[in-house]
Chain A
């Protein structure tokens, strides 16, 4: 394997990021390395020397991967938090309309809470964690400081979201089977939204877990 390909392969392996991000970083660094090689060639180096000089200029690929991860982790945490904050009310309203009983929203909310009395505890952890992920992510980006608080909050918010959606889907499925709920467009919509969000949260949990393993 040539010097540049080996460098890019080590960089790719050291990036604990989603595949799209990794491809973009590797493509961009590849272009940068070729610019550095051309610069070396213009100054009189042969190809081998220019390649070695370019790789030396970019530094240790593991360290470069760490710098990219440090730069991107706060944004990832912020996006996850924002997605949960934005989708929360939408999914919640669909479930209230689907499985709540009563003529107004207050009585629908009361009926859902009496069926799922522990649900507010899940929300009391998940919602603040999502908000903290957004705020800490923004601060980490702006000040270029550690994103550990933001990624930790995002992981917590994702876990809470997975639990909340699992509870809602399972209790609605049980209610439909026992005849406590009747099938309706609202329940179908709520199922669909929760399932979509569950998949998104599971994906985000996997991405954030990779960051955690890498120390972020």
Chain B
């Protein structure tokens, strides 16, 4: 059984994960936390307090935007969605992650599919 990953292990990847989850569509903070839990099969069970401030930081940087949403008969919720700048950043982070993870696999498990980028 996989143990939940510690928050420190995800530092540096959290922004990309949150952007990827919001790519599916707008969501409120707790829905993002639950989606992170379920999409990772419980591996990324971050302290809830880590995710809300991270969403606010992404908003300050213009990668997501948010607005209060109050469906009839339901609680008022702050809903986050990806901006155009957020989509570009997500695409760049995906490329960087693909390169990184393929390189790590090549070294750690001998996956020869990876070829280094030219250095020139």
Does any Cβ of B come within 8 Å of A28's Cβ?
A: yes
Q: Which residues of A contact B81 (CB under 8 A)?
A: none
Contact call A35/B30, Cβ cutoff below 8 A = yes
Residues from 44 to 72 in B contacting A, C-beta threshold 8 Å: 47-50, 52-54, 56-57, 60-61
Is B56 within 8 A of A31, CB to CB?
Answer: no
Show 17 residue pairs from A and B whose CB-CB distance is below 8 angstroms, ordered by the A residue: A25-B56, A27-B78, A28-B78, A29-B52, A31-B75, A32-B29, A32-B33, A34-B75, A35-B28, A35-B30, A36-B30, A36-B48, A63-B49, A64-B53, A67-B49, A67-B52, A141-B60
Distance A32 CA – B31 CA, assembled complex (angstroms): 9
Chain A residues contacting B33 (CB-CB under 8 Å) are 32
- Residue of B whose beta carbon sits closest to that of A30: B75
Residue contact B60 to A32, C-beta cutoff 8 Å: no
Enumerate chain B residues within 8 angstroms of A64, measured Cβ to Cβ. 49, 52-53
Q: B77 in the interface, Cβ–Cβ < 8 Å?
A: yes
Give A69's nearest chain B residue, CB to CB: B53
B residues at A contact (CB < 8 Å): 11, 15, 28-31, 33-34, 47-50, 52-54, 56-57, 60-61, 75-78
Is A75's CB under 8 angstroms from B60's CB? yes
A28–B27 Cα distance when bound, in Å, is 13
Cβ–Cβ contact B56 & A72, under 8 A: yes
The residue of chain A having its C-beta at the shortest distance from the C-beta of B50 within the complex is A67
Task: Assess the A142–B61 pair: CB atoms within 8 A.
Answer: yes
Inside 8 A of B53's CB, which chain A residues have their CB? Answer: 64, 67-68, 70-71
Q: Distance in Å from the Cβ of B4 to the closest Cβ of chain A?
A: 13
A3 part of interface (Cβ distance < 8 Å)? no
Q: How far is the CA of A177 from the CA of B96 in the complex (A)?
A: 65
**Option from B11, B34, B49, B60 in Cβ contact (under 8 Å) with A59:** B49
Bound Cα distance A63, B35 (Å): 24
| A residues less than 8 Å from B57 (CB atoms) | 71-72, 141, 144
- Which listed residue (B48, B54, B75) contacts A71, Cβ 8 A? B54
